[in-house]
Structure formats: C-alpha cells, structure tokens
Amino acid sequence: MNENAISLKEVELQRTHFQLGPIQLEVPKGYVTAIVGPNGSGKSSTFKLILDLIKPQKGVIKLLGKNISEDEDWQTKSRVGFLPELFSPHDNRLKASAKTEFVKKWYPEWDVNRYQELLRLFEVDDGIKLGKMSKGMRRKYEFALILSHHPELLLLDEPSSGLDPLAWRTMIDVLHRYMEPGDRTILMASHIVEEVKRLADYIVFMIHGRVLGVYEKDELFGSWHAFYVHGEQVNRKRVQAMPGQCGIEDTGGGMLRVITRMAPDAEDWCGQEHITITHRQALQLDDILAILVEQERTRLRA
Amino acid sequence: MWLPIHINEQSAEPLYYQIEVQLRALIVSGQLEEGTLLPSIRELAQLLKCSVITVRRVYQDLENEGLLRTKQGTGTYVARIEQNAMDRYRLDAVTEALEAAVEAGKLVQCTREELTKLFREVLDRKFGG
C-alpha cells in the first residue's frame, strides 16, 4: 500500500536564475498526485528530473523502484507515459501517423487497438501534419500516443492546456478509467482548480522550487476554512490565538473573517472560548495557494 | 452507477463522515438491496469529486459494521443484514438527525419547552394530525 512510484530524496538543481530544492517528494503508487504551484515554481523541472532529461547536482531519484540513469533504464521508462507542457517544433513537418510509427517501436507493450480507440474518442485524425494541428488537437494526439502502451505511470504537465471543455471532459474520463485497475499512478502538474478537484487524491504544493507539503485532498479542503465570528468577546487580538490562524479580515459590523488551516481544532477552540461561529466557508484551492505563496514570500523576506 | 449522495462542502462534518452517513442510510432503508454491486472506489470518488482515500475509508467502515462485503477482484456488495440490526440502524439514523435538530435549537437558545412544542408542530404537519 505504501509503495512509491516515484521518490526524490534531497534533490537539488542549481541554475543561474533558479534554484530547485532540496526536494523531498514521494508519489504513492495507485493514486493521483497533483503538483500545484504558481508559474516558475519548478514543476516542469521536476518532471524533467524524474525522467532524467536533466541531471540534478545532488540527490537520489527513484522511478518505479529503480534509481534513474542506471543501465537499461529505458526499460523502466517504457513503463511511463509523459505528456510535456510544450511540444518541440522539430517534428512539425511530420504527419502524426509517422510520429506514431517511430514512437511505438520503443514500447514493447504498444497496443494499436488502444491507440485507434483513443484517436476515435478524442476525434483526432493522425493523417494531419503535426505543425498543422491546432493546439488542442496536438494535445489530444499526444495524449493518445502516451496512453497506448498501457503505462504504469503517467506524468502529465498541465494536461488540459489548450483543450476545449468537451475534450477536457473526455480527458478526465479517460484518466479515471485509466486509474480503475488500482495499481497505476498519475503525477500531474496543474493550475486548473476543477481539474485537481476532480482527479487528485493527493495535492503537493510547490512554491519557489520548494515542496511545501503533501496533503490528502479531502483532508486539505476539510482543514482550510474561513470562520465568520462576531460578538463582544471577539476582537483581532483574541482570535489571533485561534489554532491554525492564517489571516484575519474585518468584514464590517463587528464581524471578523478568520482563516484557519486547522478547522476542527479551531472549532473546538471557539467552543472553549465561547466564540460563536456564525458562518463558515471552505476555501478553494486557489485561495489556499494564494495564502501559502504569501507566507512563503514573508518567510523569504525575513 | 449513480448514488443519491450529496456533499456539503461548507459543512463542518468531514467528507468521509457525510458520505458514510448517507450510504449507511441508503443501505439500512433498503433503497440499496442485499447483493447490490456498489461502484468501484475510483468510480465513486469520481462521482463525488473526492479522493479514493476517503471512499476506501467509507467502504472499510461499513464493511466492519457488516453492511458491505468485498469479494476480491469483483467488487463491493451490500451485505445481508438481519432484521433487528436493520431496525437498530434505522433508528440510529433518526436519532442522529434529531440530535442535530436539538443542537440547532440550542444554538439559538431555545428552551426545552419551545423545542418540544416545535417538534409536536412538525409532527402534526407531516402526519396531518
């Protein structure tokens, strides 16, 4: 149960304008893990590190139980499907079907029926040149391509980028079905709140090249709440002591909106302090991210 | 398979608990009959937009209570429930709802008498007394 599909230990990558890490990250097998973070936080670099496309200065990376960049690691990689955020333009003059012919040779498990089924599902014609495809069409084609060898692990960098709402729904559905057998794993990076909500089991926050934590999705949303409190005993100073307090806002009329990352504890605390919670609100993923980014900024300034 | 389970994201109750209470109610009320195959864990997670961790917990809890049984490789089914157990569960759900109602009353400083009166009124209205 606690097997990891991917693990990064003390991984550091230094670039002139950017430092990634040290990163500790474990991606559990059998689950969908979503990396959430602002632009430039190191999500795409993390994918490249996992696939050994760039080398870290320090640290150990394991992929499907094997240390990467060992001999024969192409065999491990043939069990992975990777959808990059951007596609290189070098194959623009190729017909999609020609790219497929090239790619499938590398995958012993290639399943032509699965490939055809996915093309039909996404309404993609692989007789078109890659450079002539719209952004969404190209994405759908690449999506079909990386799923057709029955990978054990999918790495998806901003999977829905460029997809229309219908194609997006098809993608979500395909991914749910992909996960059905129970022993498969997805690691994805996404900005799309709804996508993370629909797909993820675990959420990883990544900000400025640091992993801020791995959370079980429902626990996360159950913990980050805004409480509306008012009354004679209520003032800013007092509610500062609320467990997990992450921000206080005056909403007028003596009402304070207090954000907590420990909703159950905060609720008990309010009970003990005889503070009545008039209203509560579960925070959305983007609200939580905004607070974490702000906290991280403050931390860096200090 | 669709299940009439509604999630209240703004609720203080944890998600697993909300799902568990409703699924238990569907089973003990007989709306889900003995032998019914439930959705797979991933399917129900998709339906309710929650994580598989939550659904697995619900299925496990209800299996421990003897309401569900899992056949390896085929799925999770509604188990056979004894009539007296069924009655007990049936009343449990109602007791819980009444407790929640009393809590709501206490929150706005209702007295015992006021609540009793309200309860009678609701009974009269619902049963046409």
The rounded distance, in Å, linking the Cα atoms of B70 and B76 is: 4
- Pairwise CB contact (< 8 Å): B12 & A263: yes
Count how many pairs of residues, chain A against chain B, have C-beta atoms within 8 Å: 47
Q: Which residue of B has its CA nearest to A265?
A: B12
Instruction: Choose the CATH number for B15-78 among 3.40.630.40, 3.40.980.10, 3.30.750.210, 1.10.10.10.
Output: 1.10.10.10
Residue B33 pLDDT greater than 60, yes or no:
yes
Kindly report the three-state secondary structure assignment for every residue of chain A.
Answer: CCCEEEEEEEEEEEECCEEEEEEEEEEECCCEEEEECCCCCCHHHHHHHHCCCCCCCEEEEEECCEECCCCCHHHHHCCEEEECCCCCHHHCCCEHHHHHHHHHCCCCCCCHHHHHHHHHHHCCCCCCEHHHCCHHHHHHHHHHHHHCCCCCEEEEECCCCCCCHHHHHHHHHHHHHHHCCCCCEEEEECCCHHHHHHHCCEEEEEECCEEEEEEEHHHHHHHCEEEEECCCCCCHHHHCCCCCEEEEEEEECCEEEEEECCHHHHHHHHHHCCCCEEEEEECCHHHHHHHHHHHHHHHHHC
- Pairwise CB contact (< 8 Å): A218 & B42: no
Token pair, residue A280, equals: 């509560």
pLDDT at B30: 84
The rounded distance, in Å, linking the Cα atoms of B75 and B80 is: 16
Token pair, residue B84, equals: 């007296």
pLDDT at A230: 85
pLDDT at A204: 95
SS3 (DSSP) at B2: coil
Question: CA A96 → CA A85, A100, A102, A129, distances in Å?
Answer: 18, 6, 10, 6
CA of A294 vs chain B CAs: smallest distance (Å): 24
Q: Which residues of chain A have pLDDT under 50?
A: 1
* Nearest C-alpha neighbor of A155 from the set A5, A4, A23, A1: A5
Whether A38 and A46 have beta carbons less than 8 Å apart is answered as no
* pLDDT tens string B77-125: 999 887 777 777 778 778 888 998 998 898 888 899 999 999 999 999 9
Token pair, residue B78, equals: 């509604």
Q: Which residue of B has its CA nearest to A226?
A: B10
Token pair, residue A208, equals: 């400025």
Residue B29 pLDDT greater than 60, yes or no:
yes
Scanning B6-25 for CB atoms below 8 A from A yields 9-10, 12, 14-16
Whether A224 and A230 have beta carbons less than 8 Å apart is answered as no
CA of B33 vs chain A CAs: smallest distance (Å): 25
- Asked if residue A165 has a cis previous peptide bond (ω within 30° of 0), the answer is no
Whether A176 and B46 have beta carbons less than 8 Å apart is answered as yes
pLDDT at A1: 46
Q: Which residue of A has its CA nearest to B48?
A: A198
State the average pLDDT over residues B24-48.
91
State the average pLDDT over residues B37-66.
94
- Pairwise CB contact (< 8 Å): A218 & B45: no
Domain extent listing, chain B: 15-78, 83-127
Interface ipTM > 0.90? no
Residue B129 pLDDT greater than 80, yes or no:
no
Whether B71 and B77 have beta carbons less than 8 Å apart is answered as yes
Which residue, chain included where needed, has tokens 């697993």? B16
